[in-house]
């Protein structure tokens, strides 16, 4: 059985969310308007202290027209080039 590294998963998701929001010009407080997420939850996601639920991740992936595995595996800005995220 494969063991999940939750800390790395949290960092990957946090990095993806920060990178995409910066690129899209979305602020933390805007997440509540778009998705209905609480400010506290989004703040924890930005810091990598917790991760969105699967349902929330699917909503984020759908909003950004992204595959879920890209979000979960996101590591660095280099990934922007690999996955060809438009400027």
For residue 43, what is the domain's CATH number?
A: 1.10.260.40
Range of the domain at 50: 6-82
pLDDT class of 1 with cuts at 50, 70, 90:
very low
pLDDT class of 6 with cuts at 50, 70, 90:
low
Q: What is the pLDDT of residue 80?
A: 55
Rounded to whole angstroms, what are the CA distances from 4 to 7, 9, 49, 72, 87?
Answer: 9, 8, 16, 12, 32
pLDDT above 90 covers what percent of the chain? 3
- With beta carbons less than 8 A apart as the criterion, state whether 21 and 64 touch: no
Q: Which residues, including other chains, have CB under 8 Å from residue 80's CB and lie 6 or more apart?
A: 19
Q: How many structural domains comprise the chain?
A: 1
Of 80, 74, 61, 86, nearest in space to 15 by CA? 74
DSSP state of 28: T
Q: Is residue 87 part of a domain?
A: no
Q: Is residue 29 part of a domain?
A: yes
Of 42, 47, 86, 48, nearest in space to 65 by CA? 86
Q: Is residue 1 part of a domain?
A: no
């Amino acid at each position: 059985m494969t063991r999940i590294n939750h800390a790395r998963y949290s960092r990957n998701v946090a990095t993806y969310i920060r990178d995409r929001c910066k690129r899209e010009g979305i602020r933390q407080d805007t997440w509540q308007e778009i998705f209905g997420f609480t400010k506290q939850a989004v703040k924890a996601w930005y810091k990598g202290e917790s991760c969105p639920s699967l349902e929330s991740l699917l909503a984020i992936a759908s909003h950004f027209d992204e595959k879920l595995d890209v979000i979960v595996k996101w590591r660095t800005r280099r990934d922007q080039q690999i996955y060809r995220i438009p400027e």
